[in-house]
Structure 1
Amino acid sequence: MAYKMAMFGCALPEGFLLTRISGGRFSHIRYRYEGIRFLFAPAALGLDGYSRMRDRTKTQFVNLADKFRTKMLEFSDPNSSNMIFTEDLKNMVHLADATSDDLNLVHKMMTRFNQQNKEVRFGSYVFGPVVMRMYYFLNKPDEALQAFRDPELEDFFAQLVTYQILMDLLFQNERYQDMLDVFEIIKQRQHQEGKFPKNVVILTFAACFKLNTPESFKYGMAVWKELKEVGHIPMRRAVTFAAGLALNQNASHVAFEMISGVQHQNYVTIRNLKVAALADLGRPEDALPILRTILDTDVPSQRKQTFSEEVIQKLGVSVGKTTNKELIHEFQQIEKRLREGQHITAQDLNELLCMPIAETVRNPVQDRNQRFLAASFSRQNVGRTKPYPRPGLSDLY
């Protein structure tokens, strides 16, 4: 059941929907209009933990929040002799509402806190990801960009997960060119895990795909070339966005080469893109074996492996352009079997490529390091008895 309601105690912007699952939690957030979605699901960005901390903080500050705001406004004055402590800023970040007064106060407190800690860092708490979650939660992309671009706060937001949250916030607000501008800033900033953070690269190609212009294609191909030159291997989702963009820009040969380099070819996005590229290249006979593979491996007890109706129709047009009656007959027979076996879905390629990324899978050591370095509020895995889920397992179907 979907609810247009307050998200964890905070009013949602117009057009948002939440989907409730068992236990009172929310599986994902999505836009109601035009099928717009987050690329990374809220849980993957740590928003579920952030919302829990908001609830806890608001409970602690019942009848005290306004006095606290007044005090923090005084303390954040550059001429004040008082200090902004870690706990002060943490509390304000979790109390802030989507008002200009609150957002301006948070910015002033961040600036003051960052200035007083330039020489000596008193604590190990990393604020960048948490503040960016606040902007994301309140759906404030302009304020998030302003803070990110503020020279006084450059080191404040220099964490990989911060970049990811900001770019996903821009993605869900259709600010695709702003995403590319942010990517250029990220490339110039030095950080310990390399010049091209994997999730940031995914979001960059997602922005190029959404823009779908000759200029974005040219930019995407330049980024792709740069990645290859430094030995970076793009993740599958980055490859599929780049290949999808190439298809849309009538460069099917480029798309085919890109997806041919993916190690596992049985993901739903990969096989759909491959069939679409072969259809555009006028090689439908090479696409039929891919369709037959699904029929040959159909197991009733497992989820159906599928093709998009859009892709099947594209292939049908390509087959129809041939004079090979045997090929036409073979395609018709395969298509009939696919439909009878419910292997064709109404999802188009855009929907398939933009399916939300549910979570980032890490081992326990990586989880602990990520929580320390990025002050992550992601779901904890301490005491977990079940094995970690295989990444992308649902994408096989």
Structure 2
Amino acid sequence: MSHTLRLTLRTLCYPLKTDLLKLAPVSSPQTCRYLYAKATIGIDAFREQQKQTKSQMLNIEAKFRERMKGFAAEDSSSMIFTEDLKNMVHIAETDEDFDLVVKMAKKFNGQNKQLRFGNFVFGPVVMRMLHVFNKPDLALECFKSPELEGLFDQLITYQILLDLLYENDKYQEMLEVFDLVKGKQLQGAKYPRNAVVLVMAGCYKLNSKEGTEYALNLWNELMAAGHFPMRRATTFCAGLALNQGKPEVALEILGAVKNPNYVTIRNLKVRALSEIGRVEDAIVLLKSVIATDQPGEVTQTFNKEVMECVKAAVDKLENPDLTLEYNKVEKLFEKEGHISDLTLDSHLCSEIQQPPIMNNRQINKFSRFRDNTRNTGDSGYNRPQRRPGLKEMV
């Protein structure tokens, strides 16, 4: 990490004083609720399994529930087998059912420490059940339960839980979960890439001093460990720095991105450059899309609010030549469709459609665990056909 970034992070409590911040207001944090598409975390596949299981148990479902209540009772000597818990998870639909699933899971987890019947991993499946029925508090309670220790120790399970908390605006709880995740260092990964994306998104949504400190401390840890965050984690962190009046920090963070051509990267850089008064550099970046524009390709764009930020910075300088140059660029952009009406916030929070490709060797070593385990019978993850977020390259 550069010396400049270390210095800027130390001055976090002293926000940059600039009138330009008033001209680039923070977008509503409710612009987009969903971050990961349901298919990417196995929700769609879980729903299909639900339908199949309920169809198979149509005539015995009520009796099965009653039997499981007896098996799960504390004074019962009956064991909970893999198929019992698997079926109960997929037919559960009421609070009473969820309570029964948790009781069964606790008993199964306790007996499974000594007797290993099969290798079906329940963490992701139980967490998907709670995600489908939107039970964030119960999911968090289960994750922290000592009686369920080890049941939820899978990278995908962390992702499902954090995604559920994100969708329910439980951003502070996301930070608590991530601290626990770091402590586990599952499969040698202290900073699971998808979990990092989600916790950075949580910090971005918090948009507070505390959330910013957490995000920047995490960024420092990642850099010190030689971990290169995914682009979405980087843009959330940089966007948060901008919203908290730290454009110089945002620029340092964006400097870690290898491919600067993504729409979010370009927009964040232009806004940051404008806010620190480097308007000429911002205009050069604007003009770069004209030089690289090719017939037949998708037009590269800048957000309207970012263009307004540049214009405000230009007007403040009262430089006729610079004003003329910007006006020419703006006119050309309007003519050729280089200005997008989408907000920067909507770009940052746009839904991730495909599972991320993990470039970290340490993660790839355990790629067979990407869908939680071998032979789980759970097809929640499909192999990605392209890089996630490629649609953002406009």
Whether TM exceeds 0.5 here: the answer is yes
Q: Which of residues 235, 250, 271 in structure 1 aligns to 2:266?
A: 271
> Matches of 2:309 and 2:32 in 1, distance apart?
24
Give the total of aligned pairs: 359
In the other structure, the counterpart of 1:221 is 216
- Whole-Å Cα distance in 1 between the matches of residues 291 and 166 of structure 2? 39
Cα distance in 1, alignment partners of residues 66 and 160 from structure 2: 29
Give the Cα–Cα distance (whole angstroms) in 2 for the partners of residues 199 and 372 of structure 1: 14
For 1:388, give the aligned amino acid. Answer: Q
Secondary structure in 2 aligned to 1:371? coil
* Counterpart pick for 1:293 among 282, 288, 293: 288
Deviates more, 1:220-229 or 1:136-145: 220-229
Larger RCO (alpha carbons 8 Å, 6+ apart): 2
Aligned letter for 2:346? E
**Aligned counterpart in structure 2 of residue 144 of structure 1, from 139, 145, 150:** 139
* Matched letter for residue 386 of structure 2: P
Separation (CA, whole Å) in 2 of partners of 1:372 and 1:235: 21
Q: Secondary structure at the match of 1:169?
A: helix
2:5 maps to which residue? none
Aligned partners of 1:186, 1:372: CA distance in 2, in Å? Answer: 15
Question: Residue 377 and residue 365 in structure 1: after superposition, are their counterparts in 2 closer, same or farther (change >3 A)?
Answer: farther
Q: Which residue of structure 1 aligns with residue 193 of structure 2?
A: 198
- The equivalent of 1:322 in structure 2 is 317
Q: Which moved more, 1:263-272 or 1:62-71?
A: 62-71
The answer to whether residue 393 in structure 2 is matched with residue 396 in structure 1 is yes
Q: Using the TM superposition, give the Cα deviation of residue 245 of structure 1 relative to its aligned residue in structure 2, in angstroms.
A: 0.5
What's the counterpart of residue 87 of structure 2?
A: 91
Hey, what does 2:122 align to over in structure 1?
127
Name the residue aligned to 2:10: none
Among 78, 82, 96, the residue aligned to 2:78: 82
1:46 maps to 2:46: no
- Alignment of 1:253 onto 2:248: yes
Question: What is the CA-CA distance between 1:221 and the residue it aligns to?
Answer: 1.2
Secondary structure, in 3 states, of the residue corresponding to 1:142?
Answer: helix
Task: State how far apart, in whole Å, the 2-side matches of 1:292 and 1:230 are.
Answer: 36
Q: Provide the residue aligned with 1:371 in structure 2.
A: 371
Matching residue of 1:180:
175
TM-score (norm 1): 0.86
The separation in 1 between residues aligned to 2:162 and 2:70, in whole angstroms, is 33
- In structure 2, do the counterparts of structure 1 residues 240 and 330 end up closer, same or farther at CA, with 3 Å as the change threshold? same
Question: Which amino acid in structure 2 is aligned with residue 246 of structure 1?
Answer: A
* CA spacing shift, 1:213–1:380, aligned 2, 3 Å: closer
Amino acid at match of 2:287: R
1:332 to 320, 323, 327: 327
CA distance in 2, matches of 1:150, 1:368: 27
Percent of matched pairs sharing the same residue: 46
- How far apart, in 2, do the equivalents of 1:300 and 1:66 lie? 63
> Residue 249 of structure 2 aligns to which amino acid in structure 1?
V
Counterpart CA distance in 2 for 1:253 and 1:342 is 29
Whether the aligned pair in 2 keeps the contact of 1:36 and 1:172 (CA below 8 Å) is no
Does the 8 Å CA contact 1:129/1:159 hold for their aligned counterparts? yes
* 2:340 equivalent in structure 1: 345
- Structure 1: distance between partners of 2:179 and 2:369: 26
Q: What is the CA distance between 1:359 and its match in structure 2? A: 1.2
Q: Secondary structure of 2:326's partner?
A: helix
1:368, distance to aligned residue in structure 2 (A): 4.8
Deviation at 1:323, TM superposition (A): 2.4
Letter in 1 for 2:34: F
SS at match of 2:370: helix
**5+ residue gaps in structure 1?**
1-32, 382-386
Evaluate the alpha carbon distance shift between residue 261 and residue 35 of structure 1 in structure 2; reply closer, same or farther with a 3 A threshold.
closer
> Take 1:263 and 1:190, find their aligned partners in 2: how far apart are those partners?
27
Change beyond 3 A, Cα 1:354–1:394: same
TM-superposed CA distance for 1:188, in Å, is 1.5
**Can you give the 5+ residue segments of structure 2 that lack an aligned partner in the other structure?**
1-28, 359-363
What's the offset of the Cα at 1:239?
Answer: 0.7
**CA distance in structure 2 between the aligned counterparts of 1:282 and 1:362, rounded to whole angstroms:** 37
**Mapped contact 2:305–2:344 kept (Cα < 8 A):** yes
Deviations 1:237-258 (A, max 9, x none): 1110000010011110000011
CA contact (8 A) 1:44 1:358 kept: yes
AA partner of residue 57 (structure 1) = T
Following superposition, the deviation at residue 379 of structure 1 comes to: 4.8
In the TM superposition, what is the alpha-carbon distance from 1:276 to its structure 2 partner? 0.5
Paired residue secondary structure (2:151): helix
Q: What is the one-letter code of the residue matched to 1:276? A: R
Distance 2:287 2:341 in 1: 20
Q: Residues 189-225 of structure 1, C-alpha deviation per residue, up to 9 Å, x if partnerless?
A: 1311411101111111111110001111111111111
1:342 deviation in Å?
1.2
> Does the residue aligned with 1:337 lie in a helix, a strand or coil?
helix
Q: Report SS of the residue matched to 2:307.
A: helix
Aligned-pair distance for 1:298? 2.2
Query: Deviations 1:17-68 (Å, cap 9, x if unpaired)?
Result: xxxxxxxxxxxxxxxx954321111011011110110010111111321111
Alignment-derived partner of residue 189 in structure 1: 184
Contact map agreement 2:72 2:104 (CA 8 A) in 1: yes
SS in 2 for 1:373: coil
| TM-score, normalised via structure 2 length | 0.87
CA-CA distance at 1:287 after TM superposition: 0.9
Structure 1 window deviating more from structure 2 (371-380 vs 117-126): it is: 371-380
| Structure 2 residue corresponding to 1:73, chosen from 69, 75, 93 | 69
Structure 1 residue 371, shift from structure 2 partner:
3.3
Whole-angstrom distance in 1 between the partners of 2:357 and 2:223 = 25
